[in-house]
Amino acid sequence: MSASVALSIEDAREQLLHISKRLVDVRLNRGTSGNASVRVDGADGEAGILITPSGMSVEQMSPADMVWMDFSARFSGERQPSSEWRFHLDIMKQRTDVRAVIHTHSLFATTLSTLHKEIPAFHYMVAVAGGDNIRCAPYAIFGSQALSEEVLQALEGRKACLMANHGMVVVGSSLDNAFDIAVEVETLAEQYLHAMQVGCPHILSSQEMLEVQEKFKGYSGWSK
């Protein structure tokens, strides 16, 4: 779904649950870790987001458990929003191109984040994140405004970042788009960790990465 198409709350609830299940199925999240959100319009036309609830495993969730929040951080429903609602909301407020946010504690991205290392252009697919690296945001405690500010900075001009000692955040033009980027970032993190065990990977130049980004414009999956 393109960034210009708004979801109804009913459709967004279903899609958010579906993506949350897919994240568990591909082992990007486990148990109650991670969260996701999608941009929607409220029943009265007011803009806001739907976000996954706090402290619930995906197996327990239903569409009705997704929490609606407006851009003043007021929320409604029987559940509490994810503890990471601040960076979800702040990203949506600052980045009008973003319609979905996914955060995971996936194995390889999280492992790399504990080393406080970015993912450089060791592979051309790093360009799916919008540049020639995937930055690692400095550590701040989960759920804090400080973490949100670090994430916003790390995502400047990007569609993904790592969070030190924590995991990854990706943004997309739809939940499906964000999911695809999250899968690719996890793959890149795994490949980079393996490469560093052998030696020092060759890093592609900025010009080479610009050429990749130009070529991606012809591929609908990565040009959004």
Which residues have a catalytic role annotated? Answer: 84
DSSP 184-222: HHHHHHHHHHHHHHHS------HHHHHHHHHHHTT-TTT
Number of neighbouring beta carbons within 10 Å of residue 223: 11
Q: What are the residues facing 39 on neighbouring strands? A: 49
Q: Which of 37, 70, 56 has the alpha carbon at shortest distance from 179?
A: 37
DSSP designation for 165? T
Please give the Cα distance from 214 to 3 (Å, whole number): 20
Angle at the Cα of 100 (from 96 to 102), degrees rounded to 5? 130
